[in-house]
Amino acid sequence: MAPPTTMSPGRTIRPFAGGHVRSASVPCHSHPLLTHVDDQLLALRSWTSNPGQNPLSLAHVRALLCVLDELLHLPLAAAAASTDRLLHGFLVLADAFGNFLSALLALRQHAAELQAAVRRRDHPKIASAARAQRQVDKELAQLAAAVAREASRCARATVPSCGSEHAGATELEVARTVAEAINDTAVASASVFLEVGSLADAAAAAAAAPAAKKRLPPLMHASSRSKNKQASCEEQRETAALEKLKELEQCIGELESESEKVFRNLIQARVSLLNIHTPTF
């Protein structure tokens, strides 16, 4: 199991400490798709513990959910489908991504308002839009904590309940794997939510800095040279702020598309579980 992941000071998301990913050195006669899911779990945990240059990527989450959906189309997933906690876990994740998409939409609007205000040097508007953007950062931090907590609760409650005497070893292994996938998806997603919030907060701080500087009283006997230097510094701060806001907008655009796909994957996974007991003909 991967160690706790820290995205920024004071923000830590801890994975569910109940992993069972099989060792390659131990003989295993499980279904091949289980091994495939385990591989994706390991890849996701590795990324979560060290995202490197891609802290905003949902690629591993999507890869896991895609192969997990294949597994959930098998009759072997009956033990997982009979566990209400797993169905609830997918619902928790889907709700989280629905809220995340709403937060991205709000951030897109605030970032656009900030850019316009910075270009006009409209300091009251800069302060107002920056506060709104920082508020979304707080909401994303709350969302990250909630999804990790609720998904972990679902996984912890599920593992002991999978000991049905009517289910075989492989069926129970599928149920445990699905529980871990739900938890690890939540942990990785929470990391992305926190990273977006941090990026939004940094962009808001950079945009608000020129406005704060402008409120300082002017020097009574400032030379022309010092005034020019002050103006140059102001322009540099504004340029830096606009660059950060542009970076935020680009990330939002990419994440909106990826998050919508993850949202659909989560809904499909839940539907696949439900369809095991209610097959369509």
Residue 29 is predicted with a pLDDT of: 46
The residue that leads in pLDDT, 218 or 23, is 218
For residue 210, name the pLDDT band (cuts at 50, 70, 90). Answer: low
The residue that leads in pLDDT, 77 or 102, is 102
Residue 7 is predicted with a pLDDT of: 42
Query: The domain containing residue 133 runs over which residues?
Result: 31-213+226-277
In a domain, 238, yes or no: yes
C-alpha distance from residue 265 to each of 17, 30, 62, 94, 252 (Å): 25, 24, 7, 9, 20
The residue that leads in pLDDT, 104 or 87, is 104
Count how many Cα atoms sit within 13 Å of the Cα of residue 159 in the half-sphere of its side chain: 17
Q: What percent of the chain has pLDDT over 70?
A: 76
Q: Which residue is listed with tokens 């996984």?
A: 155
| Mean pLDDT over the full length of the chain | 82
Looking only at Cα atoms, what is the longest distance across the chain?
88
In a domain, 184, yes or no: yes
Q: Give the tens place of pLDDT for each residue, 34-46.
A: 999 999 999 999 9
Structural domain tally of the chain? 1
Q: What percent of the chain has pLDDT over 90?
A: 57
Residue 30 is predicted with a pLDDT of: 66
In a domain, 244, yes or no: yes
Mean pLDDT computed over 132-154 = 93
Q: Give the tens place of pLDDT for each residue, 108-140.
A: 999 999 999 999 999 999 999 999 999 999 999
Task: Give kind and range of the element (H or E) at residue 5.
Answer: strand 5-8
Residue 2 is predicted with a pLDDT of: 41
In a domain, 10, yes or no: no
Residue 175 is predicted with a pLDDT of: 86
Number of neighbours of residue 188 by Cβ within 10 angstroms: 25
In a domain, 182, yes or no: yes
For residue 23, name the pLDDT band (cuts at 50, 70, 90). Answer: very low
Q: Contact at 8 Å (CB) between 37 and 74?
A: no
Mean pLDDT computed over 27-53 = 86
For residue 32, name the pLDDT band (cuts at 50, 70, 90). Answer: confident
Number of neighbours of residue 228 by Cβ within 10 angstroms: 11
Of the candidates 164, 19, 120, the one whose C-alpha atom is nearest the C-alpha of residue 129 is 120
Q: Is the pLDDT of residue 22 over 90?
A: no
In sequence order, which residues have a C-beta less than 8 Å from that of residue 174 and are 6 or more positions away? 31, 34, 71, 74, 76, 77, 79, 80
Q: Is the pLDDT of residue 6 over 60?
A: no
In a domain, 47, yes or no: yes
In a domain, 5, yes or no: no
Residue 3 is predicted with a pLDDT of: 43
Mean pLDDT computed over 57-65 = 96
In a domain, 9, yes or no: no
Q: Give the tens place of pLDDT for each residue, 215-259.
A: 445 554 556 655 666 667 888 889 999 999 999 999 999 999 999
Answer positive or negative: Cα dihedral of 61, 64, 70, 73: negative
Q: Contact at 8 Å (CB) between 107 and 245?
A: no
